[in-house]
Structures are given as C-alpha cells and as structure tokens.
Amino acid sequence: MLAVVSDVGDVLKDHAALEQLGYEYRPGSFADDGEHLFFRKVSGGKRTHHLHVLAASAPRSDDYLLFRDYLVAGEDAAQRYEQAKQYLAGKYATERGGYVAEKSQIVDQLMSEARAWRAAGSDS
C-alpha cells in the first residue's frame, strides 16, 4: 500500500494510530530516501501488509503510482509481475535479501515499460 502525505515528518512524530492497527515502523528500510517511510504488519509470524509512506514531493511517489497504473491497465504486465513474485517467493522462501534483489530486476523492466506506456499516451 502507498500513502502519499505532505510531510513524512508528521507521520514520524505520531504513528501511534498505525501501531494500534498492527503496523510496525521499520526505520532504515529506505535509508537512502528520507522521504520514504516503511511500515509492515505481521500476523502469525508472516508479513501480511506493507505500507509505504512517501512525501508528495518525493520523486518516487510518481514511480509508485505509475507502476500501479501500468499493472492495472495491462493484464499481461500484472500477470508477469504476479508470476515473478510467486516464483521468487518459492525460490527465496528463507532468504528475503535474495528475493528483494532479484525482484528488482522485474520491477525495473516493468518500470521501463510503464514509462514507455505513459510516453505513448497510456493507451497502448
């Protein structure tokens, strides 16, 4: 999930409501991006939800929204992403770092396609 806010500092100051919903703040998850906060929800020892909080001014917020729009608009892209995630989840069931590293390859490919899709008028 993605929440775009005007100031991530406000969320950092008071994220008690998120904690009451079971979300755990994971500082340092995006250490290279101070405008990107990450929360996760764990149930039964498994991560069930991820919440990314980005500042509206952060360049990555546009990327996240474009990625979502591209997956929604293109069934093929959504299926490829789903299949890749399922394959990688099996391959790296106990090695999160490997999963994340290899998943970035499909995300980079899909983002390249999404940018071309947007440049072509978002209808191809």
Chain centre distance of CA 112 = 16
Distance CA 73, CA 82 (A): 14
pLDDT in tens, 17-45: 999 999 999 988 887 787 889 999 999 88
pLDDT in tens, 88-121: 999 998 898 899 899 999 999 999 999 999 999 8
pLDDT band for position 124 (cuts 50, 70, 90): low
pTM of the predicted model, to two decimals?
A: 0.78
Residue 46: φ, ψ to 5°: -125, 145
The rounded mean pLDDT for the chain is: 91
pLDDT in tens, 67-89: 999 999 988 999 999 999 999 99
β-pair type (23-25, 36-43) = antiparallel
pLDDT recorded at residue 45: 86
Do 120 and 110 form a contact (C-beta atoms < 8 A)?
no
